[in-house]
Structure 1
């Protein structure tokens, strides 16, 4: 849950890097919350009749949640792309029908670069030898 809240704290922070764990924990909790709200929305109608009106308050809560977490979900995806050494513009590959989302999924599963790249230090701390590299240069 801390990883989910961390993404929400970095609401529209597109710079930097995000670990796989940060990304996938956010996706997991995001999926759980949306699933729960959809189940509540379906059960609030009282029946599965197609003409039944859903509870407008639950529908409003679901809409606010989805639109409220849209920017953080894009931001964490961009930071995840930065972690593997790709530009955030690669996010738009998901607009390519069928194959684009699959390529983005593969990118999200890849391990991040172990060294510092142009978007920042490795969030895992592995390969961050900046202090050691400064020895003897002062």
Structure 2
């Protein structure tokens, strides 16, 4: 679980992203706010924001990896979202000081840019499937790992009078000794 939360290496499928990160991190602020309100304090919400910042970056980078994109797109998505929001903030400041035309223009450009930036990155990360094969970031997270090859126990594989059949965990043979399989002869 710690590797899932803190390592930006590897890939994460859409299902893992939704079930193991997005839904819990969407519910956590509700719980944190309720606890803050119950305690009459306001310090848990900033703590949650700081604690969840790096896991959000790391897991989103893995989601980009699943799409075959570099994890640096995570930082670009943050910056491209913050720039339009800065324009909205500066437009609001200009509205307060009285520069109405440039303020409305700046605000609308910022809102429009923020909407499309957030829409594009949300579409990529939340909804588009990853590559169906291994890529440079790792194997496909949707495919189960191949099972380990079981170790062959000669007493089970080739039972006979030369093996001890009464070992714990092994059933007693039902067939006579002459019908059991014999090990291959060396040539």
CA RMSD of aligned residues (A): 2.2
Counterpart for residue 77 of structure 2: 93
Secondary structure of 1:113's aligned partner: coil
Map 1:1-138 to 2 at 5 A.
6=1, 8-25=2-19, 26-42=21-37, 55-56=40-41, 59-91=42-74, 92-96=76-80, 97-108=114-125, 109-125=127-143
Change beyond 3 A, Cα 1:78–1:33: same
Which stretch shifts more, 73-82 or 94-103? 94-103
Q: Could you list the runs of 5+ residues in structure 1 that have no partner in the other structure?
A: 1-5, 45-54, 130-138
Q: Could you list the runs of 5+ residues in structure 2 that have no partner in the other structure?
A: 81-113, 147-187
TM-score, scaled relative to structure 1: 0.69
Secondary structure of 1:124's aligned partner: coil
**Contact in 1 for aligned 2:14/2:129 (Cα 8 Å):** yes
Identify the structure with bigger relative contact order (alpha carbons < 8 Å, sequence gap 6+): 1
Which stretch shifts more, 78-87 or 59-68? 59-68
**Contact in 2 for aligned 1:95/1:101 (Cα 8 Å):** no
TM-score, scaled relative to structure 2: 0.52
Change beyond 3 A, Cα 1:35–1:95: same
**Contact in 2 for aligned 1:12/1:71 (Cα 8 Å):** yes
- Alpha-carbon shift at residue 9 of structure 1 (Å): 4.3
Aligned length: 110
**Contact in 2 for aligned 1:115/1:122 (Cα 8 Å):** yes
- Alpha-carbon shift at residue 89 of structure 1 (Å): 1.8
Counterpart for residue 97 of structure 2: none
**Contact in 2 for aligned 1:94/1:100 (Cα 8 Å):** no
